[in-house]
Homo-oligomer: A and B are copies of this chain.
Amino acid sequence: MPLVYLMRRESFCASHRLHTDLLSDDENRRLFGKCNSPNGHGHNYVLEVSLRGEPDLKTGLLMNLTELKHILQEVILSRVDHRHLNLDVAEFSKTNPTTENLAIVFWRMLEEKISKKLLYEVRVFETEKNSAYYRGE
């Protein structure tokens, strides 16, 4: 049976501020520059989730994209879209919302609904120029 990859792309709009309490205010400013601006700034984030497995012999589907869309909506988008990541999303109250951490945190959110065997990659674009991805390694 062939192994195939399936990817669904979504987007959400959120605020964030790069800042960690483990560094001084001065160190935060030096390290994160304008991304450390106190009231936060925001992005149209793009989220790409990829699965990997054998499609069903009858239907030709690895997973129904409507089902994947609903999982992404329920597990991630409903919690982060039109929110301030640092202030409104518990996972980022102590974890700096860098693009790297977003990819890792979203992977962990998805593991509750999608088996580790099926989940292949979670990719987050902060802008067209900056993105991070995580493959559970």
Count of chain copies:
6
A31-B64, A55-B101, A60-B101 known; A88-B44 Cβ under 8 A: no
User: Which residues of chain A from 40 to 72 have a CB within 8 Å of any chain B CB?
Assistant: 40-44, 55, 58-62, 64-66
A34-B82, A100-B62, A129-B9 known; A14-B2 Cβ under 8 A: no
Complex Cα gap A11–B41 (Å): 13
Interface of A is mostly: mixed
List residues of A whose CB falls within 8 A of some B CB: 2-11, 13-16, 20, 22-23, 31, 33-35, 37, 39-44, 55, 58-62, 64-66, 81-84, 87-88, 95-101, 103-104, 127-137
